[in-house]
């Protein structure tokens, strides 16, 4: 079963390579990966969906935690409920003859129209993975020209949120362990 | 405050860290750095290859316990460091590698001697940084030393573009550095201490298995105290040699276990009911077939690195923390009377007598173990001994009894041929006034033989003892056992003349071909001032035995 990890890290150059490389190096596939800034300046959140063997996820988490720039790691699939969202942009064929039907279908999935041309409409869809799949199936008969997806973003449910980030320091007066 | 340039900041930072010796080789993008070295009181050892510089820093670190420092230029200099960094990484050795980089304006243009050093080394470092302004140099180097030498030790690389080395700025070495996500001080978890105590108190056939973590944490004496208090025999991994005195007066040492382990150590692991594993990551060379490793034992796993717990071998009880801290906690917590262990110790003593290490004789020829044991007798085990990688390494591990930590230096995890000789050079700077011995094979020695020149230039008292079987012996042995004696590319048509090479490089060379020459040749080599090389001719057919066939349980040994 695929597991979703949320990783907080310093947003230094190269940290994406360290995280992605570590997962690849230990023999696992990244199904989806999204990165963005958080409300804390200098801190990024990675949402990574990993396809691996059951039992390997604990090891992946421990190894990720060893990266110096990684602040915290939660395996959302294992550690409590979480909310997930995907965002896709879909360019659907929509000449005047079938435009009302396309828009009606878009309405059903609460898509937003973000661009409109003579022959096509670009729609924005957000939702969980199931909705993405259903929505794509629904637009297929009209003709999908192209799509772009964000991959999964996820957060643990309120009340199970990550602890506050605490910066700790090492000064000369302390003995290094 | 007078402004200084980035290169001078690097040297000031190293001085502030108390660095006395660095190993390296200049090149285009580190000329500013070498210009600053020209004025510094830090001793720079000019090596002949960057790989050797990394191994020397590694050897220095393993003996001194302080981070070793090496320097290389960008591009090929940095890529030459890679093997040395990977070696340090797999054996958890604290190292700070400083590399030059093309100027910031040229990065990404495929400039002359440009390589993506950070990208290349990411999988083999504990951490790495590239500085982009002179102001970042002090904090980067302070972080590098802190990261390398705290938690589970490892190599840290700092990449410094040439223009940053030349830029001027104000400099004050930081007193304080902060991390959002690195908290080695919080790494201890002893919640299962009581369970561990209970298991140990009730064990009938307990065993301590000590790895390199015991040595890294300086916990060897504490471990000895625990083993003596509980009357528990101790086996070690290859890197654990020195964690417990191998000539222990109460016979508690079983020696090294694993693929070429002592029969008694391997059998003890397979028959123990409780194993206290300390600072070992259960390498495949230790475990043999994982599913049958210690199948009758409950394992108490102690490691500083939580990721090692249950990574390879599942544990009944685990404790995370520095070996010294955890062993102390165990020693003070166990106060009850213990089960009688005499029977178990007697049983092991019988195995030891019934299955001693094989000592095959070769009439008229020198046996490999004879060299190792004679050297051990002459030095009394006091000298630092490094090894290269191969048959000689295993003969040394089996027959050279080590009594204290930091005296046996070998590349265990990566198995790097070419490691031992430059590591001996580094080690000798960590123990000035002493000689350092290197047990080498003819194949391994050829991989960094150019460093003879370094030994000669600085008159470094490194004594290289080549167990010369005129072949790539360990692979030849596998071909003999598992590939129908098809000796593909392991035998060669001629041998280099090691005595002449040594003399050509300004090092005393000795040759010994007969058993009766062994002692006096070793004594002669040890008594010349400075470096020496001894070419011991040993039979090509000599095998490393016992041997566990790869993929077999460790009590299935080829004994003779």
Residues A121-149 pLDDT 10s:
999 999 998 999 999 999 999 999 999 99
- Measured CA distances, B287 to B292, B304, B312 (Å): 9, 20, 9
Mean pLDDT of A26-35: 91
Interface of B with A in 303-342 (CB under 8 A): 305-307, 310-311, 322
Chain B nearest-CA residue for A177: B150
CB contacts of B118 in chain A (<8 Å) are 14
CB proximity list for A14: less than 8 A, separation 6 or greater: B118, B119, B122, B128
Question: Taken in order B472, B475, B481, B482, is the CA torsion positive or negative?
Answer: negative
Instruction: Give yes or no for residue B149 having a pLDDT over 50.
Output: yes
Mean pLDDT of B388-409: 97
Q: Could you tell me the domains of chain A? A: 3-79 (3.30.70.260), 83-154 (3.30.70.1150)
- Position A177 confidence tier, pLDDT thresholds 50, 70, 90: very low
CA distance B185 to chain A (A): 6
| DSSP annotation of A142 | G
CB contacts of B178 in chain A (<8 Å) are 167-170
A164 touches chain B (CB under 8 A): no
B66 touches chain A (CB under 8 A): no
Chain B nearest-CA residue for A40: B180
- The answer to whether residues B240 and B348 touch, using CB atoms and an 8 Å cutoff, is no
- The answer to whether residues B454 and B48 touch, using CB atoms and an 8 Å cutoff, is yes
Determine, for residues B119 and A63 on separate chains, whether the beta-carbon distance falls below 8 Å. no
B491 touches chain A (CB under 8 A): no
The shortest CB-CB distance from B181 to any of A63, A68, A169 is to A68
Nearest to A139 by CA among A68, A90, A83: A90
- Position A157 confidence tier, pLDDT thresholds 50, 70, 90: confident
A175 touches chain B (CB under 8 A): no
- Position A158 confidence tier, pLDDT thresholds 50, 70, 90: confident
B159 touches chain A (CB under 8 A): no
Determine, for residues A177 and B185 on separate chains, whether the beta-carbon distance falls below 8 Å. yes
- The answer to whether residues A64 and A74 touch, using CB atoms and an 8 Å cutoff, is no
- The answer to whether residues B256 and B238 touch, using CB atoms and an 8 Å cutoff, is yes
Residue with tokens 């790895």: B211
Determine, for residues A18 and B311 on separate chains, whether the beta-carbon distance falls below 8 Å. no
Mean pLDDT of B407-434: 98
pTM (two decimals): 0.94
B310-344 residue pLDDT tens: 999 999 999 999 999 999 999 999 876 566 778 99
Determine, for residues B307 and A62 on separate chains, whether the beta-carbon distance falls below 8 Å. yes
- The answer to whether residues B476 and B452 touch, using CB atoms and an 8 Å cutoff, is no
Rounded Cα distance, B400 and B385, in Å: 9
In DSSP notation, A79-100 reads SS-EEEEEEEEEEEE--TTTHH
Check residue A80 and give its pLDDT.
80
B203-253 residue pLDDT tens: 999 999 999 999 999 999 999 999 999 999 999 999 999 999 999 999 999
Determine, for residues B123 and A167 on separate chains, whether the beta-carbon distance falls below 8 Å. no
CB proximity list for A9: less than 8 A, separation 6 or greater: A15, A19, A43, A44, A45, A46, A67, A69, A70, A71, B181
B153-195 residue pLDDT tens: 999 999 999 999 999 999 999 999 999 999 998 989 999 999 9
Check residue B336 and give its pLDDT.
61
Q: Is B516 exposed, middle or buried, given 0-12, 13-18 or 19+ CB atoms closer than 10 A?
A: exposed
- The answer to whether residues B62 and B84 touch, using CB atoms and an 8 Å cutoff, is no
Mean pLDDT of A152-167: 70
Determine, for residues B176 and A170 on separate chains, whether the beta-carbon distance falls below 8 Å. yes
B123 touches chain A (CB under 8 A): yes
Determine, for residues B175 and A168 on separate chains, whether the beta-carbon distance falls below 8 Å. no
Chain A nearest-CA residue for B147: A68
What value of ipTM does the predicted structure carry? Answer: 0.93
B553 pairs with which residues across the strands? B288
Give the pair of three-digit tokens for residue B92: 């958890």
Determine, for residues B185 and A66 on separate chains, whether the beta-carbon distance falls below 8 Å. no
CB contacts of A24 in chain B (<8 Å) are none
Determine, for residues A177 and B123 on separate chains, whether the beta-carbon distance falls below 8 Å. no
Check residue A175 and give its pLDDT.
44
- The answer to whether residues B234 and B223 touch, using CB atoms and an 8 Å cutoff, is yes
A25 touches chain B (CB under 8 A): yes
CA distance A30 to chain B (A): 17
Strand A43-51 vs strand A29-37: parallel, antiparallel, or unpaired? Answer: antiparallel
Check residue A174 and give its pLDDT.
46
B68-101 residue pLDDT tens: 999 999 999 999 999 999 999 999 999 999 999 9
Instruction: Give yes or no for residue A173 having a pLDDT over 70.
Output: no
CA distance B128 to chain A (A): 9
Mean of per-residue pLDDT scores for chain B: 96
Give the pair of three-digit tokens for residue A24: 């690849």
- The answer to whether residues B163 and B104 touch, using CB atoms and an 8 Å cutoff, is yes
The shortest CB-CB distance from B180 to any of A65, A71, A176 is to A71
| DSSP annotation of A111 | -
B350 touches chain A (CB under 8 A): no
CA distance A59 to chain B (A): 6
Q: Could you tell me the domains of chain B? A: 4-177 (3.40.50.970), 186-354 (3.40.50.1220), 368-549 (3.40.50.970)
Instruction: Give yes or no for residue B47 having a pLDDT over 90.
Output: yes
Check residue A42 and give its pLDDT.
94
Instruction: Give yes or no for residue A176 having a pLDDT over 50.
Output: no
B76-115 CB burial, b ≥16 within 10 A, e <16: ebbbbbbbbbbbbbbbbbbbbbbbbbbbbebbeeebebbb
The shortest CB-CB distance from A68 to any of B119, B182, B311 is to B182
Instruction: Give yes or no for residue B280 having a pLDDT over 80.
Output: yes
CB proximity list for A117: less than 8 A, separation 6 or greater: none
Determine, for residues B307 and A176 on separate chains, whether the beta-carbon distance falls below 8 Å. no
Instruction: Give yes or no for residue B374 having a pLDDT over 60.
Output: yes
Mean pLDDT of B276-283: 97
Instruction: Give yes or no for residue A21 having a pLDDT over 80.
Output: yes
Determine, for residues B146 and A18 on separate chains, whether the beta-carbon distance falls below 8 Å. no
């Amino acid at each position: 079963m695929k597991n979703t990890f949320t990783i907080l890290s310093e947003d230094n150059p190269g940290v994406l390579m360290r995280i992605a490389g570590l997962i690849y190096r230990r023999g696992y596939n990244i199904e989806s990966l999204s990165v963005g800034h958080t409300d804390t300046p200098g801190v990024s959140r990675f949402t990574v969906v990993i396809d691996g063997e059951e039992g390997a996820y604990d090891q992946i988490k421990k190894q990720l935690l060893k990266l110096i720039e990684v602040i915290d790691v939660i395996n959302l699939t294992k550690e409590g409920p979480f909310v997930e969202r995907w965002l896709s942009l879909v360019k659907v064929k929509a000449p005047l003859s079938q435009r009302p039907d396309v828009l009606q279908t878009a309405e059903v999935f609460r898509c937003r129209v973000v661009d409109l041309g003579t022959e096509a409409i670009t729609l924005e869809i957000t939702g969980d993975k199931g909705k993405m799949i259903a929505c794509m199936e629904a637009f297929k008969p009209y003709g999908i020209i192209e799509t772009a997806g964000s991959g999964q973003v996820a957060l643990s449910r309120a009340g199970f949120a990550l602890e506050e980030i605490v910066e700790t320091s090492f000064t000369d007066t302390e003995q290094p362990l | 405050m007078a402004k200084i340039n980035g290169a001078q900041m690097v040297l000031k930072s190293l001085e502030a860290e108390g660095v006395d010796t660095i190993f390296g080789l200049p090149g285009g993008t580190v000329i500013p750095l070498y210009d600053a070295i020209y004025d510094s009181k830090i001793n720079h050892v000019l090596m002949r290859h960057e790989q050797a510089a990394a191994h020397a820093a590694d050897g220095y670190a393993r003996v001194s316990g302080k981070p070793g420092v090496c320097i290389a230029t960008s591009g090929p200099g940095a890529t030459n460091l890679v093997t040395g960094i990977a070696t340090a990484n797999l054996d958890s050795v604290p190292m700070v590698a400083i590399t030059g980089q093309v100027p910031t304006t040229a990065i990404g243009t495929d400039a002359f001697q440009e390589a993506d050093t950070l990208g290349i080394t990411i999988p083999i470092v504990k951490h790495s940084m590239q500085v982009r302004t002179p102001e970042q140099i002090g904090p980067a180097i302070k972080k590098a030393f802190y990261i390398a030498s705290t938690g589970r030790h490892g190599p840290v690389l700092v990449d410094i573009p040439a223009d940053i080395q030349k830029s001027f700025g104000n400099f004050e070495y930081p007193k304080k550095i902060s991390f959002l996500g690195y908290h080695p001080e919080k790494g201890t978890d002893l919640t299962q201490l009581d369970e561990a105590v209970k298991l140990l108190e009730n064990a009938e056939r307990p065993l301590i298995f000590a790895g390199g973590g015991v040595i890294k944490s300086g916990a060897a004496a504490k471990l000895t105290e625990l083993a003596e208090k509980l009357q528990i025999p101790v086996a070690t991994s290859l890197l654990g040699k020195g964690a417990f005195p191998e000539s222990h007066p109460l016979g508690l040492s079983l020696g090294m276990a694993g693929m070429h382990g002592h029969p008694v150590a391997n059998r003890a692991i397979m028959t123990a009911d409780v194993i206290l594993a300390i600072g070992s990551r259960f390498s495949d060379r230790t475990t043999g077939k994982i599913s049958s490793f210690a199948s009758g034992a409950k394992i108490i796993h102690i490691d500083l690195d939580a990721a090692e717990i249950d990574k390879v071998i599942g544990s009944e009880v685990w404790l995370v923390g520095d070996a010294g801290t955890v062993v102390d906690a165990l020693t003070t917590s166990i106060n009850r009377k213990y089960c009688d262990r005499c029977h178990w110790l007697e049983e092991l003593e019988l195995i030891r007598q019934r299955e001693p290490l094989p000592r095959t004789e070769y009439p008229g020829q020198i046996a490999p173990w004879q060299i190792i044991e004679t050297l051990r007798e002459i030095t009394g085990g006091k000298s630092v001994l490094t090894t290269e990688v191969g048959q000689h390494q295993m003969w040394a591990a089996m027959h050279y009894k080590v009594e204290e930590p930091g005296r046996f230096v070998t590349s265990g995890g990566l198995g790097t041929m070419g490691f031992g000789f430059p590591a001996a050079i580094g080690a000798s700077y960590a123990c000035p006034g002493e000689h350092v011995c290197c047990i080498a094979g003819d194949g391994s020695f050829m991989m960094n033989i150019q460093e003879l020149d370094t030994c000669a230039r600085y008159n470094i008292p490194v004594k290289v003892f080549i167990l010369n079987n005129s072949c790539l012996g360990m692979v030849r042995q596998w071909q003999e056992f598992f590939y129908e004696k098809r000796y593909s590319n392991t035998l060669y048509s001629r041998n280099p003349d090691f005595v002449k090479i040594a003399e050509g490089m300004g090092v005393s060379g000795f040759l010994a071909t007969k058993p009766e020459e062994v002692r006096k040749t070793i004594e002669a080599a040890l008594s010349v001032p400075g470096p020496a090389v001894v070419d011991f001719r040993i039979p090509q057919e000599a095998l490393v035995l016992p041997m566990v066939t790869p993929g077999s349980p460790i009590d299935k040994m080829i004994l003779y």
